Amino acid sequence: MLFPDEFDFYPKTWFLPEQIEQFQNDARSIHNNERRRRRPLTTFIVKPSDGSEGAGIYLIQDPTHCNVTNRSHIVQGNV
C-alpha cells in the first residue's frame, strides 16, 4: 500500500479448493486471450498452503490438471 509502483509484482492468486471453479474459468479465459494473440500459454504453480518446504509443488498449464484434495493449496500465475 505504501509503494504500489515498486511492489506491483504479486501474481494473480487462487485459493483451492474454495476457488477451483473460479481458477478454471479464469485460466481458460487467460489462455483464450493468449491463443488469440499467439502468445505462449501461462504456466501456473500449484503449492500447498501449509508451508511444505517444496513438497507437493507442481506446474500446470491445463487448469483441469489441478489435483484438488482436502488439503488447501494456492495457485498462482504471472498474468
What is the predicted pLDDT for the residue at 74? 93
Classify each residue of 33-56 as buried b or exposed e, where b means 16 or more C-beta atoms within 10 Å of its C-beta.
eeeeeeeeebebebbbeeeeeeee
What is the predicted pLDDT for the residue at 13? 93
Q: Is pTM beyond 0.75 here?
A: yes
DSSP label of 42: P
**Model confidence band, residue 1 (pLDDT cutoffs 50, 70, 90):** low
Q: How far apart are CA 55 and CA 57, in angstroms?
A: 6
pLDDT tens profile 19-73: 999 999 999 999 999 999 999 999 999 998 877 677 889 999 999 988 877 789 9
DSSP label of 47: E
Taking 3-state DSSP, the helix, strand and coil percentages for the chain, each rounded to the nearest 5, stand at 25, 25, 50
Arch. (CATH architecture) of 12-77: 2-Layer Sandwich (3.30)
Domain segments of the chain: what residues? 12-77
